[in-house]
Amino acid sequence: MIQDAFGLIFTGEANPYMRDLTLSRAVAAVPFGGRYRVIDFVLSDFVNSGIRNVGIITQKNYHSLMDHLGTGKEWDLNRKREGLFLLPPFSTKDNTGVYRGDIDAYHSIMQYVRHSNQKYLILSGSHTIFNTTFEKILAQHKETGADITIMYNEDASFDPEEQNRDLRLLFDEDGMRVKELEWYPRYPRSNFRSCEIMIIDKALFEDLVEESYSRGGIDFVRDILLTHVHELNIMGWRYDGYVARIDSVNTFFRHSMELLNAPEAHDLYNREHPIYTKVKDEISAKYGEHADVHNVVMADGCKVDGTVENSVLFRGVTVERGAVVKNSIIMQGSKIRAGAKLDHVILDKGVTVTEGRMLNGFEGLPLVFRKNLTV
């Protein structure tokens, strides 16, 4: 268990590629995997590593996140000292309430960083999902004496239309020291992609941020890492487990489907490292007389009396008799009325699909229906 590091999660604004899924929430608050939000994974990674001090930098649209995280009880982070700190944008004289970039945000919460008792800072983004603990990367960071250690994995996928905080690492011969970085590359020369996890000494972090802030720096990667890549001793730590990057509706859909079909995705449901999330006190899922369900991940509280195939059903979804749901992701509380037919569809929370309605998306182009819609 890690005693000498604390965590800081930067939750950005909506991502345009996420379309209606981030209409009223940050990517961190997007539901994933049947009962979780995207942020649950990295937050549980922190908790499962023994880290008891985690700050979450929120921006506009943070209410959904605030509601989800609450007091941090579910993560056992509702502590008297330390625990979970929500760091919403301050509206003070210095600040208009919206950050220009992450350096802005880090600058404005530097007091929290300074007051934290731990030596090492684990900096995290909030659109990358994996289930691990940070003991090994921290141990490597200490052994190598690196200034910054970046967790990365090998990921050959690339779509220039859907890049989101795409940072790639090029190593020197020993394969560990980073000699070059690519940020939103048009023609990537590396498949080693940052998992949005960086370990850095807290004093160095403060130095780098404050120095850059004073010169108008905006983006931590662009204005600090890229600028100083040759002066800083940046190392990589390779992670070989399953990594899902929620960059766009398409990647969201693809990674959701991998929960059904790609055995390596079951990493995320690893029992040794449970993923904590907000408890809803739902009852067991109920299958009716006419239920016909195959290859499905389904959360508690669902009521199914129709056909469901190759789909992910979040909590409290109703599928009435005669309805057919295929290759779809149905979020919390949505209702599929009798006789409706869905294929390649993403329903956000609380959507109602009326009787007999047909909704068809396509491979690579799933249809998204926004929260609380009735179709």
Residue 14 interacting partner from another protein, a copy of itself, none (CB closer than 5 to 8 Å by kind): none
Residue 53: name the closest of 143, 113, 126 by CA. 113
111 binds a copy of itself (CB under 8 A): no
Closest CB to another protein among 103 and 122?
122
Residue 360 interacting partner from a copy of itself, another protein, none (CB closer than 5 to 8 Å by kind): none
Residue 126: name the closest of 21, 56, 227 by CA. 56
- For residue 186 the two structure tokens come to 């048009």
157 binds a copy of itself (CB under 8 A): no
CA 56/CA 174 separation, integer angstroms? 35
Residue 293 interacting partner from another protein, a copy of itself, none (CB closer than 5 to 8 Å by kind): another protein
CA 373/CA 348 separation, integer angstroms? 8
CA 329/CA 342 separation, integer angstroms? 10
Cα 311 to chain centroid distance, Å, stands at 20
The distance of closest approach from Cβ of residue 133 to a copy of itself in the complex, given in angstroms and rounded to an integer, is 27
- For residue 351 the two structure tokens come to 């959507």
Q: Pattern of binders to another protein over 58-97, x per CB under 8 A?
A: ---------------xx-x-xxxx----------------
Question: What Rg, from alpha-carbon coordinates, does the chain have?
Answer: 21
Residue of the chain from 50, 97, 160, 274 that contacts a copy of itself (CB under 8 A):
97
297 binds another protein (CB under 8 A): yes
Residue 361 interacting partner from a copy of itself, another protein, none (CB closer than 5 to 8 Å by kind): none
Q: Look at the alpha carbons of 19, 24, 27, 31 in this order and tell me if their dihedral is positive or negative.
A: negative
Q: Pattern of binders to a copy of itself over 50-69, x per CB under 8 A?
A: ----------xx-x------
DSSP state of 333: T
Residue 300 interacting partner from another protein, a copy of itself, none (CB closer than 5 to 8 Å by kind): another protein
Residue 90 interacting partner from another protein, a copy of itself, none (CB closer than 5 to 8 Å by kind): a copy of itself
Burial class (CB in 10 A: 0-12, 13-18, 19+), 254: middle
Select from 86-94, 199-207, 297-305, 319-327 the region that touches a copy of itself (CB under 8 A).
86-94
Q: How far is CA 197 from CA 128, 306, 343, in A?
A: 9, 42, 36
279 binds another protein (CB under 8 A): yes
- For residue 273 the two structure tokens come to 């490292």
24 binds a copy of itself (CB under 8 A): yes
111 binds another protein (CB under 8 A): no
The distance of closest approach from Cβ of residue 35 to another protein in the complex, given in angstroms and rounded to an integer, is 5
Residue of the chain from 86, 170, 296, 367 that contacts another protein (CB under 8 A):
296
Residue 34 interacting partner from another protein, a copy of itself, none (CB closer than 5 to 8 Å by kind): another protein
71 binds a copy of itself (CB under 8 A): yes
Residue 27: name the closest of 220, 247, 279 by CA. 247
Residues 6+ apart with CB under 8 A from 249: 17, 18, 19, 21, 346, 366, 368
Residue 63 interacting partner from another protein, a copy of itself, none (CB closer than 5 to 8 Å by kind): a copy of itself
The 3-state DSSP class for residue 48 equals helix
230 binds another protein (CB under 8 A): no
117 binds a copy of itself (CB under 8 A): no
Cα 320 to chain centroid distance, Å, stands at 32
215 binds another protein (CB under 8 A): no
Which position has the token pair 């992910």? 312
**Pair 34, 119: CB distance under 8 Å:** no
Residue of the chain from 3, 4, 79, 91 that contacts a copy of itself (CB under 8 A):
91
The 3-state DSSP class for residue 279 equals coil
286 binds another protein (CB under 8 A): yes
CA 71/CA 73 separation, integer angstroms? 5
Which residues make up the interface to a copy of itself (CB under 8 A)? 24, 60-61, 63, 70-71, 78, 88, 90-92, 97
* Site residues, another protein (CB under 8 A): 1, 3, 33-35, 52, 73-74, 76, 78-81, 268-269, 271, 274-276, 279, 281-301, 312-313
